[in-house]
Amino acid sequence: MEKQGVPSSFEPPTYQQGGQPSLYQQGGQPPPYQQVAPPAYQQFPPYPNNFSAPLITTIRGTPLSNPPPDYMTWSMINLVLSILVSGFIGIISSIFAYRNSQRTRFYSMIGDEVMANIYSLSAKRSNIIATVMICVGAAILIGIIVSM
């Protein structure tokens, strides 16, 4: 009687005394071991010092001949003044302006004009917000000093 999906040459495992299936071939010897090839990723030569990838990525490009303004000086002045005069929001916007100024300079050096323009505009907007916060903080500080 043949079951569906089971070939007719299928034989159930033979059982030894004690009810355990026989793990050995008929000669009483274990089956010969087969050497398995290592996975494909181990066949490639490793990087030096056994690292799996290079640690340094070099970005090369031609610096822009006419880079957008990075507003770095304005950002540094805003940072110093916001620490002295304004509060937390002025300091945060000054830090964002300084970071965007650095990114503008970076993208100008590697030749990515689109990203340099985006970060230049973002640095300008952050500097305007920081300047307004410094002016508001200075006005509040002057008002407090005059009212005393």
Are 72 and 105 in contact by the 8 Å Cβ rule? The answer is yes
Lowest mean pLDDT among 39-48, 60-69, 87-96, 136-145: 39-48
Is pLDDT of 131 > 80? yes
pLDDT value at position 112? 86
Answer positive or negative: Cα dihedral of 8, 13, 14, 19: negative
First-to-last C-alpha distance (Å) of the chain: 107
pLDDT value at position 44? 52
The rounded distance, in Å, linking the Cα atoms of 61 and 103 is 15
pLDDT value at position 37? 57
Mean pLDDT computed over 118-122: 93
pLDDT value at position 65? 84
Give how far Cα 60 sits from Cα of 66, 116, 141, Å: 18, 15, 48
Is pLDDT of 54 > 90? no
Are 82 and 135 in contact by the 8 Å Cβ rule? The answer is no
pLDDT value at position 84? 85
pTM of the model: 0.57
Answer positive or negative: Cα dihedral of 38, 42, 44, 45: negative
- The angle at the Cα of 133, spanning 131 to 138, to the nearest 5 degrees, equals 95
Are 81 and 134 in contact by the 8 Å Cβ rule? The answer is yes
Instruction: Residue 98: count other Cβ atoms within 10 Å of its Cβ.
Output: 21
More reliable by pLDDT, 5 or 94? 94
pLDDT band at 7 (very low <50, low <70, confident <90, very high): low
Is pLDDT of 79 > 60? yes
